Every structure is written in structure tokens, then in C-alpha cells.
Amino acid sequence: MKKISVIVPCYNEEEVVNIFYDTTKEIVNKIENYYFEFIFVDDGSRDKTLEKLVALASEHEDVKYITFSRNFGKEAAMYAGLKLSDGDYCIVMDADLQHPPALIPIFIEGINEGYDCCAAMRTTRKGESKIRSLFSKTFYKISNSLTDVKLAQNAVDYRIMSRQMVNAVLALSEVQRFSKGIFAWVGFKTKWVPYENVERTVGTTKWSFTGLLRYAIDGITAFSIKPLRMLTGIGFFISILAILYMIWTIAEVFIYGITVPGYATLLTVLLFMGGIIEVSLGILGEYIGRIYMESKNRPIFILKETNIELTSLNWEKEK
């Protein structure tokens, strides 16, 4: 019998963990030939999530939990879950039931058909604010025009992956993780499963607007250096304009003699150049910041407690 590890990042999800487990369990119980285990990753919750998980684990032997020393973010939680899992397949899904467990049987069909991965894709963005949808659309447009890794629009982090793919994902051990890009980058045969967006019924979203903006910038800088090349392009373009203008100015001196007025031109050019330089420094800074953070080689998460037996296999790096 093949084993499937269901990895569930949880941050302040005390209201949902039990409902999540009951609902999902009911669905996977009907699936034959596979054994399901649940790995809940408590990402440093401030509420009673951990207590709920420990209680759940004491009642059900298919429930495992991992808890961090503080909040490390969903990306770190997913990584930890994958790292400590040993299933032949791994499913990553949110705790808030926005990732419908009813898709699991469809995922299983997909892997039985020989796919390495089945991933969910939202067909609607119902229940999401207009601004967020617009922001997200713009992000995919910019990101896909800048990076070679094509991100599927409306793809969510809800998917099943073969062990081979999970190992590939884990091999990309960067600290600043952008899973959407990582999943796309590692490749493998992926089947897309469309579903209708479900509104969060309990608890609240953990995302803020600045958080999303940060996420978008990380997404682009993690997979592309095109913004840096664009700076070179812009530099060249401006230099050519500058040379043309210089030739014109010198010619003007020969034709008309020295003409003093030029205040507006000077000011415009100065401000324009200042703006370009600032933006360029900002873009450079983004990349230097990423190099800096990666060069520290800090662990992606710090584990505090788990009921998973730590083997050398899942525990080489983080100990």
C-alpha cells in the first residue's frame, strides 16, 4: 500500500484544525489502496492551534505535528512538512478548507494515470477583493514576461507530488522560498485540476497587502535577472539620447553662439536622471539583499517539537 503524506501549514487556525481533519478524513477514508497520514505544521501560532494538534495526535495515530520556535511563514512550513514526510506522495493543502478536500480523489486518479503531480487551479476568484484580483493578474503578467519559469495563472499551492518531485523541490534549498516558482522550475508532468474558489468560512486570511507585494517582488527576483539587464538597456538608451543632445548643444553654440537659457532643460534632465538612478539602486538592492540573506545560510525553520520520529533521512540539515 502506498503512503500519502498530507502536509498542512497552520498559523493561528485553532477554529479550523479539527473541522479540517474530520472533513478531509471522511474523504480520504473512501480512497482505496493508499494510506493517508496528516502532517500539521504549526507555524508558531499564537492561539491554541498547537494544543488542538497535540490533542488530535493523541487521538489519531495518522496525525503528526511539527511546531516551530516562531512564525517562519507558509513557505517554511511547507518545506518543513515535505522535509519530515516520508510518503510516496505528498499533498500540500491549506488548513482553512479553501483547498477543497473533494479534489483529493481527482488527484489520486491523476497519479494513477502516471502524472508526477496534480495541481489545483482556481477558475474563479469569488470572495476575493477586486484590488487583490487585479494585483494578482498584474503580477502574473509582469512575472511571466520577465522570467523563463512560466507560472500558471490561478494556480494555488494545493497539489499532490510524487516523492521524486518532492525531493527535487527539497533540493532547492534557498532560504527565501517562492514555492509557486519552485514547483514550476523543477518541471515534471503536471495535471491541472480546475476548481471553484471557496471563501474562507472561519478564521481570517493571514495576508496583508504589503505582504503580498513583498511576495510578488520575491517571486520575480527569485527566478529572473531580467530587471538587472533592463537597467543596462535603460542606461544605454539614455546615454544615446545624451550624446545626441550633446551634439545638438555643441552645434547650437557654433551656429548661434553661447545661449544661456536652459534652466528647464537642466532641471528636467537632472530630476529624470535622479529618478532613474534611484530606481536602479533599488533594483540592485533587491538582488544584493537576496544574496546577503542566502549567504548567511540560515536554516529555513527552527523546529521546536514534533511527534515524527526524526531519522537521518529527514533530519540531516536542520539538526
The site for ligand UDP (CB under 6 A) is made up of 9-11, 13, 43, 71, 73-74, 77, 94-96, 98, 205-207
Q: Which is nearer to ligand UDP, 199 or 278 (CB)?
A: 199
Binding at 7: pick from ligand UDP, Mg ion, none (beta carbon under 5-8 Å per type): none
Least Å from the CB of residue 146 to ligand UDP:
23
Q: Which three cell numbers stand for residue 227?
A: 530587471
Please identify, using beta-carbon distances, which residue of 36 and 158 lies nearer to ligand UDP. Answer: 158
Q: Which partner from the list Mg ion, ligand UDP, none does 95 bind, CB cut-off 5 to 8 Å by kind? A: ligand UDP
Neighbours of 8 (CB within 10 A): 27
Task: State the Cα–Cα distance between residues 191 and 221, nearest whole angstrom.
Answer: 27
Nearest Cα to Cα of residue 73 among 187, 176, 169, 222: 176
Q: How far apart are CA 295 and CA 241, in angstroms?
A: 39
- Judged by beta carbon, residue 43 or residue 94, the one nearer Mg ion is 94
Dist. CA 2–CA 18, nearest whole Å = 25
By C-beta, is 193 or 276 nearer to Mg ion?
Answer: 193
Is there binding between residue 13 and Mg ion (CB under 5 A)?
Answer: no
- In the bound complex, what is the minimum distance in angstroms from residue 96's beta carbon to Mg ion? 4
Residue from 5, 96, 118, 300 in contact with Mg ion (CB under 5 A): 96
Cα of first residue to Cα of last residue in the chain, in angstroms, is: 31
Does position 98 interact with Mg ion (CB under 5 A)? The reply is yes
Minimum separation from the CB atom of position 17 to ligand UDP (A):
9
Span from 76-84, 93-101, 209-217, 235-243 in contact with Mg ion (CB under 5 A): 93-101
- Backbone dihedral angles phi then psi of residue 145, each to the nearest 5 degrees: -85, -20
Q: Edge-to-edge strand order for the sheet containing 63-68?
A: 190-195, 117-122, 155-162, 89-92, 2-10, 34-42, 63-68, 303-306
Instruction: Please state the closest distance from residue 148 (CB atom) to ligand UDP, in A.
Output: 25
The DSSP line for 230-250 is HHHHHHHHHHHHHHHHHHHHH
45 binds Mg ion (CB under 5 A): no
Residue 280: exposed, middle, or buried by beta-carbon count in 10 A (0-12, 13-18, 19+)?
middle
Work out what residue 21 binds among Mg ion, ligand UDP, none; the CB cut-off runs from 5 to 8 Å by kind: none
> For helices 163-171 and 74-84, what crossing angle results, to 10°?
130
Task: Give the shortest CB-101-to-ligand UDP separation in angstroms.
Answer: 13
Nearest to ligand UDP of 13, 15 (CB atom): 13
Which spans of this chain sit near Mg ion (rule: CB under 5 A)?
A: 94, 96, 98
